[in-house]
């Protein structure tokens, strides 16, 4: 049985029932029920009511996800949910290229008429228990506000940069790409984009698998604002599609030579493709500014601009993770050093609380076991919360910094930096597309 049939959590259903509310799965094959859920989701994020056309698109591209609603039978419109969430299971690429299952949680909304009486808590706790019950070892989400999810054991694991680049300052110093660029229609690009994103995500820590809804939104086959989207594809010297960029142009109020190009997405399966696409955008005529949100924090382009100050960058949290099974997730990734560390993990929900011994070998494999004994000679030892361990997991957060912040307690001298060296990665984790 797939995740879409996982029932709602009975504990949360009972808790909500004591407030007279009903928690249930939405039958996404039943259009009216699903449309009401979709409209509640739109309203929850202060978006305009979905048009019939966009409802049809959303139904077609997201019906396979598990949609959960909270209903108030006393409402004048009892079929309209007052709380929503949507979940699905995706592979999450971890350092070394293996994948683990991640229970993705999205669309957490509670109607302003029903806020701050524990509806979101019931939804979130219910999803943690549902994922644990299905033996999914990791839960992941992105947040509207960074103040909500730590209490449930989540920690931020990846960041993105929003770059703004003054094109007139750029003197391209990167390599010349041997391939060619072509404008492509969204329908033509869609399958290539899906292949390119899939190739990248399979080796990119933090990479997820993306369905047609996501890929269609970045190439412009779906979405309300698709008319202004342009897309180019980079084909390598052998003519194989290796990357694409989609972007919008906005004219300056008074100066036609100062358009702004805003990148919807830019992704290359090779560094050559990524550089070629960046160069294309930075050398567009009549464009003074290129804006690119959601970029990896170790983007090579900043070393190819010829003027480091041509770009300003703003960093933001992206993927938040919540480990549910410590041995499963630590055993799946690869490590940079051969070492041993004892992790004393606290967990407000008890899913993962305990002591674990992580031993890594010269090939980078990790062996993890629950552990009661004394810390072995030579092993590092730290105490930390499950949220902070989740932050460290993909290698995008420094253990030494968390120790300096007072979040990790070092039980042996230098233990945080020893852990940081074990977890080090050659490529910063990146959430390729937000969700
Ligand atoms: C993964 C995602 O989907 S991220 C998107 C989150 N959704 C949004 O931002 C849409 C707009 N906001 C909302 O719909 C709601 O305000 C929600 C979903 C954020 C919160 O729903 P509520 O039902 O009011 O939350 P609930 O009453 O269950 O609160 C649970 C806890 O979170 C806290 N909390 C709730 N909202 C916030 C907030 N915006 N900032 C900080 N803390 C918050 C509450 O104080 C409470 O804390 P405590 O129990 O530890 O004392």
In tens, the pLDDT along 24-55 reads 999 999 999 999 999 999 999 999 999 999 99
Question: Cα(384) to centroid of ligand 1, in Å?
Answer: 25
Between helices 31-44 and 52-62, what is the axis angle to 10°?
100
Token pair of 322 as six digits? 């919540």
337: confidence class by pLDDT, cuts 50, 70, 90: very high
Of 88, 125, 148, best ligand 1 pocket probe by most atoms within 8 Å of the beta carbon: 148
20: confidence class by pLDDT, cuts 50, 70, 90: very high
- Between the CA of residue 353 and those of 321, 327, 342, 350, what are the distances in Å? 16, 12, 13, 5
Residue 281 has pLDDT above 70, yes or no: yes
Percent of the chain with pLDDT over 70: 100
- Between the CA of residue 149 and those of 15, 236, 319, 375, 398, what are the distances in Å? 20, 43, 12, 32, 20
Distance CA 286, CA 288 (A): 7
216 annotated to a ligand binding site: no
Distance CA 434, CA 430 (A): 10
List residues with catalytic annotation.
149, 435
- Among 306, 313, 332, 308, CA closest to 321: 332
Is ipTM strictly over 0.85? yes
In the chain, how long is the greatest CA-to-CA distance?
A: 72
pLDDT for position 169: 98
Q: Can you say whether the dihedral through the CA atoms of 171, 176, 182, 188 is positive or negative? A: negative
Identify the residues whose C-beta falls under 6 Å from ligand 1: 44-45, 105-110, 115-121, 141, 143-145, 147-148, 151
pLDDT for position 81: 98
Mean pLDDT of 53-78: 95
Give the strand order in the sheet containing 409-410.
366-370, 354-360, 340-346, 380-385, 409-410
pLDDT for position 211: 87
Atom of ligand 1 nearest to the CA of 116: 27
Percent of the chain with pLDDT over 90: 95
CB 127 within 8 A of CB 9: yes
Mean pLDDT of 312-322: 98
Name residue 259's beta-bridge partners. 287
pLDDT for position 1: 63
Atom of ligand 1 nearest to the CA of 143: 4
254: confidence class by pLDDT, cuts 50, 70, 90: very high
Using one digit for the tens of pLDDT, what is the confidence trace for 411-430? 999 999 999 999 999 999 99
Quote the mean pLDDT of the chain: 97
Output the pTM of the full model: 0.97
Residue 212 has pLDDT above 70, yes or no: yes
């Amino acid at each position: 049985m797939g995740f879409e049939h996982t029932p709602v959590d009975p504990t949360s259903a009972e808790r909500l029932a004591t407030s007279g509310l009903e928690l249930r799965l939405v039958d996404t094959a039943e259009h009216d029920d699903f449309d009401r859920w979709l409209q509640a989701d739109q309203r929850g994020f202060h978006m305009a009511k979905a048009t019939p056309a966009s409802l049809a698109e959303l139904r077609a591209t997201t019906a396979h996800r598990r949609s959960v609603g909270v209903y108030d039978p006393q409402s004048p419109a009892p079929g309209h949910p007052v709380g929503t969430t949507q979940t699905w299971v995706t592979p999450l690429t971890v350092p070394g290229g293996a994948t683990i299952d991640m229970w993705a949680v999205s669309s957490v909304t509670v109607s302003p008429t029903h806020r701050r009486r524990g509806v979101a808590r019931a939804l979130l706790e219910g999803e943690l228990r549902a994922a644990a019950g299905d033996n999914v070892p990791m839960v992941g989400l992105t947040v509207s506000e960074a103040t909500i999810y730590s209490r449930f054991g989540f920690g931020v694991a990846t960041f993105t940069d929003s770059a703004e680049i003054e094109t007139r300052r750029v003197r391209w110093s990167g390599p010349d790409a041997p391939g060619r660029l072509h404008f492509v229609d969204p329908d033509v690009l869609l399958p290539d984009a899906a292949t390119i994103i899939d190739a990248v995500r399979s080796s990119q820590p933090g990479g997820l698998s993306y369905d047609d809804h996501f890929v269609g939104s970045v190439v412009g086959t779906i979405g309300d604002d698709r008319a202004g989207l342009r897309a180019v594809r980079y084909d390598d010297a052998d003519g194989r599609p290796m990357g694409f960029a989609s972007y919008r142009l906005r004219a300056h109020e008074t100066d036609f030579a100062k358009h702004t190009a805003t990148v919807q997405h830019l992704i290359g399966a090779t560094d050559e493709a990524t550089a070629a696409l960046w160069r294309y955008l930075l050398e567009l005529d009549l464009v003074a500014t290129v804006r690119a949100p959601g970029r990896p924090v170790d983007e090579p382009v900043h070393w190819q601009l010829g003027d480091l100050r041509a770009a300003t960058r703003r960093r933001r949290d992206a993927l938040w993770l919540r480990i549910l099974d410590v041995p499963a997730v630590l055993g799946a990734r690869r490590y940079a050093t051969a070492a041993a560390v004892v992790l004393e993990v606290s967990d407000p929900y008890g899913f993962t609380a305990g002591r674990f011994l992580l031993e890594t070998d010269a090939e980078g494999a990790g062996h993890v076991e629950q552990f009661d004994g004394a810390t072995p000679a030579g092993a590092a030892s730290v105490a930390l919360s499950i949220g902070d361990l989740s932050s460290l997991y993909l290698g995008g957060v420094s253990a030494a910094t968390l120790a300096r912040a007072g979040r990790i307690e070092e039980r042996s001298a230098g233990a945080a930096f020893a852990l940081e060296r074990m977890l080090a990665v050659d490529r910063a984790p990146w959430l390729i597309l937000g969700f």
